Every structure is written in C-alpha cells, then in structure tokens.
Amino acid sequence: MPDSTRRNFLIATGAGAAAVGAATALPGSADGASATGQPTAKLPTGAQPLVAHVSDPNSGSVSLLVGEHEVMVHDPDLVARLARAAASKQREG
C-alpha cells in the first residue's frame, strides 16, 4: 500500500466493520436483550464509528481508533469477549 495512512485504513475498514457488526446482530437484540437474556448496553449519545485493535490478547489491552484519535483501554473481559467472537466466526468461515 503505497499511500497508507490511518485515515485510509479507517475508511477501508469502516465498511467491513459495519458488515461484521450487522452480521453478528443476534435475535432479541432489537428488544434490548442479548441472546444470553442480559440487557444490552446503551450507546452514549453521539457515538462514533470506531475500530478496536488487540495486538496481544494476553495483555488484556485494546486500542480504540476513533476518528484521528487512539485510546488505549485495559479491559481483559472485553478482550476475552472479542477473542471468543473472532474464534467463533473463524470456525464458521
């Protein structure tokens, strides 16, 4: 990629992330409950598209790319949920 920038990466992955998000929508999510029966989290007002990058799942840290900003979050439970979701999609594919 001769002209790769973070902005180009976000543009290119935005459509893919939206497609993955739509593909993983679970029955029951429209009524505010997940497939496990637990209430789904409410999004903050003005939530923007973002990309989550986990370079080392064992670290429990995830890098969130929002617009032109990067936010590092240490949340081992979130990383574990993302890793499980990725593994289940990989088995299906």
The pLDDT score that the predictor gives to residue 92 is 76
On whether residue 29 sits in a domain, the answer given is yes
- Tally: H helices and E strands in the chain: 2, 3
The pTM for the full model equals 0.53
Residue range of the domain that includes 74: 6-39+48-92
Encode the chain (93 residues) as per-residue pLDDT tens digits: 445 666 666 555 554 554 444 444 444 444 445 555 666 788 889 999 999 999 999 999 999 999 999 999 999 999 999 999 999 877 776
Task: Give the span between the Cα atoms of 16 and 40, in whole angstroms.
Answer: 23
How many domains does the chain divide into? 1
On whether residue 87 sits in a domain, the answer given is yes
Q: Residue for token digits 């939206």? A: 18
